[in-house]
A = this chain, B = another copy of it.
């Protein structure tokens, strides 16, 4: 399971640009982290909301994928994110978890923490759709 997701993760140019790391893959839960650098900031010098959102979207998508058959791919239908604390940390840790898995749609919850994993920076709810892999 890790290998299937690691391969897909390595094909995401954006994750390379962010220098993001796939930390762990379990059934129904995926963890991705991203260290701070200047190129990821908003105008106040903290992580841009878009960075937190990108990595937690990927974490939720892959969490959904861990629940599906081998010939599946996943697309984001929609997500909603609440930003609760300023992202002034040297590392973001994003965790995607499956809340409800269905044949077509999977609902995930995503959490973005600071490097201590004590401060919840933002919270996502995402709807993912399964599509059949095109060979």
Question: Residues of A at under 8 Å CB distance from B?
Answer: 8-9, 11-14, 16-17, 37-45, 48-51, 53-55, 57-58, 73, 75-85, 99-100, 102, 104-105, 107, 120, 123, 125, 127, 129
Contact = CB atoms under 8 A, between A and B. Distances in A.
B16 A39 contact: yes
Contact of A82 (B57, B84, B127): B127
Given A104-B104, A127-B127, A43 B11 contact: yes
Contacts of A57: 49-50, 53
21 contacts: A9-B43, A11-B41, A12-B42, A14-B39, A14-B40, A48-B54, A49-B54, A50-B53, A53-B53, A77-B77, A78-B81, A78-B83, A79-B80, A80-B80, A82-B99, A84-B99, A84-B100, A99-B120, A105-B129, A125-B125, A127-B127
